[in-house]
Structure 1
């Protein structure tokens, strides 16, 4: 049976060009703020992962099943419906931080925010750092 390839991989698209092309002005402005926040917190330069995700750092995983690959360590996507923020690899409970964040929803490994005005950016910075620290305990995180 052939090995499954990761669907989301690094692309050559410039993240700044991608952000500049976001149609909705609030979503574009929020993406610029998030780009600065992720650069500051991670110390990594952004790279596009797939057509719509801006990632900061990466890690190589190998599951017990033998599946392996590379994925972004943290990042976000300014989608039409909301901002998808990839900060929770699904290993730790960040409930005490999330309780202080503001209006949001969570998925398996994503945080969904309608707009940055709905949340506390200082708490988001804390959450990004906590997510990276947790991920780094499982897989080495490297610059992307």
Structure 2
């Protein structure tokens, strides 16, 4: 059973994107949505109140904890877009070097605006992340 706080909500993705306060951030979110749909082939699903996810996977750790989580996705946060690649960015330095202006966390890529990055490289990163994740846990469509 999942103890995740971030779970699918059934909320409307289009309505969420339309509610993004900054017009430029909303336009970027529409562009990201189109890219994620094209690259993954998955329909988007809201995870929690603000993450748009594409695909999902079921994990089970050695500790016995298990649950479901989004395979990849993004959130148009106020300060920057958070782009989620599971299980993280550790092995993608070669792709990240070609991406453009960004910051990274463990499983988050932070981009202020899409004009700062190469969208073809982001597509490569999404593909690589899904391929890597699938070696740990099978990715399922949403």
User: TM-score, normalised on structure 2?
Assistant: 0.97
Whether 1:51 aligns to 2:49 is yes
Write out aligned runs for 1:36-75 (5 A): 36-75=34-73
> 1:91, CA displacement in angstroms?
7.0
Shift of 1:90: 2.4
Unaligned 5+ residue runs, structure 1? none
Q: 2:112 matched to 1:114?
A: yes
Counterpart residue number, 1:136: 134
Structure 1 consecutive aligned stretches of length 4 or more whose deviation exceeds 6 Å: none
The aligned counterpart of 1:16 is 14
Q: CA deviation digits over 1:23-80, x for unaligned, max 9?
A: 1011000000000000000000000000000000000000111110000000000000
Deviations 1:102-128 (A, max 9, x none): 000000101000000000000000000
Measured in 1, the distance between the counterparts of 2:135 and 2:89 equals: 10
The alignment of Structure 1 onto Structure 2 pairs a total of residues equal to 142
Q: CA RMSD in A?
A: 1.2
- Secondary structure (helix, strand or coil) at the match of 1:129 reads helix
Cα distance, 1:5 vs structure 2 = 1.1
Cα pair 1:53 1:75 within 8 Å, conserved: yes
